[in-house]
Copies of this chain bind each other. A is one copy, B any other.
Amino acid sequence: MAAAVPPPLPSAAPITLPEPTPPGHTLFTRIRLATIDDVPNIHKLIHQKAVFEGLSHLCQATADSLAATLFPPNPPSPFASFTIFLLELSTSPFSPTQNPHFTPLIKSLHLDLPIDDPEWETFRSNANDSNGDVTVGGFVLFFPNYSTFIAKPGFYIEDMFLRECYRRKGLGKRLLSAVAVQAAKMGYGRVEWAAPEGNVNAFEFFEQMGAKILPEWKICRLTGEALQAYAHVNL
């Protein structure tokens, strides 16, 4: 006779949770190599950076001069000379695309509140490979440098800029990291940049990124008429 075995407890029904939906809003981001078609947007970003820094009187860049110097005929390979990564934002997902030199970096950005971008149209991207609207939110310009002590190239970041409404969302870190990732993948030895010392938040951010600050080094610059005078020096 079977021993009195208590009936099994009813098994706990699995609780089916809905797929987690990020609260708020989603924007899609892409970092890609700029082309000559992006010059009008790059020009506007550079001008906006100059205004933001109160230096618009020093900004002589035109779309034509940028195109001629950044995208010359017979351009060198990307990363071998002046190189720009653009940050784009879209209301719809970007399709993965291939580029022989740099596969665009695609990610989604979850936000509690939608971003009000009053210049979405002004900075509309030339990219036509998204289902939705695409705007350009910022850029980083860099080029190779060299260290004789480690006998390796590196990258020097000359400029980085995000439009006002896209700041404080981790996008600057993504742009800067994109350059560092590229340098690391290429076996390069250093990524360097310079920043004015007043901005404490920026330096905290740079140190969080792993950068060391070189407090004792001063930049020296020969420019304008002082440089032009050398055209007539007979060495």
Residues of A within 8 A of B (CB): 31, 46, 49-50, 55, 58-62, 65-66, 69-70, 76, 80-82, 105, 107, 141, 143-154, 156, 158-159, 174, 177-178, 180-181, 183-185, 188-198, 203, 206, 209-223, 226-231, 233, 235
Nearest chain B CB to A170 CB, angstrom units: 11
Report B-chain residues with C-beta under 8 Å of the C-beta of A66.
Answer: 148, 151
A235 and B178 contacting across the interface, CB-CB below 8 Å: yes
Query: In whole angstroms, how far apart are the Cα atoms of A145 and B70 in the complex?
Result: 11
Chain B CB within 10 Å — which of A66, A174, A214 has the most?
A214
Complex CA distance for A172 and B143, rounded to whole angstroms:
27
- Whether B210 and A227, one on each chain, are in contact in the complex, defined by CB atoms closer than 8 angstroms, is yes
Complex formed: what's the CA distance from A66 to B153 in Å?
10
Please name the residue on chain B nearest to A58 by beta carbon: B149
Assembly CA distance A194 to B180 (angstroms): 22
Question: A59: which of B141, B149, B159 is its contact (CB, 8 Å)?
Answer: B149
B148 and A61 contacting across the interface, CB-CB below 8 Å = yes
A221-B227 contact given A151-B60, A153-B69, CB 8 Å threshold:
no
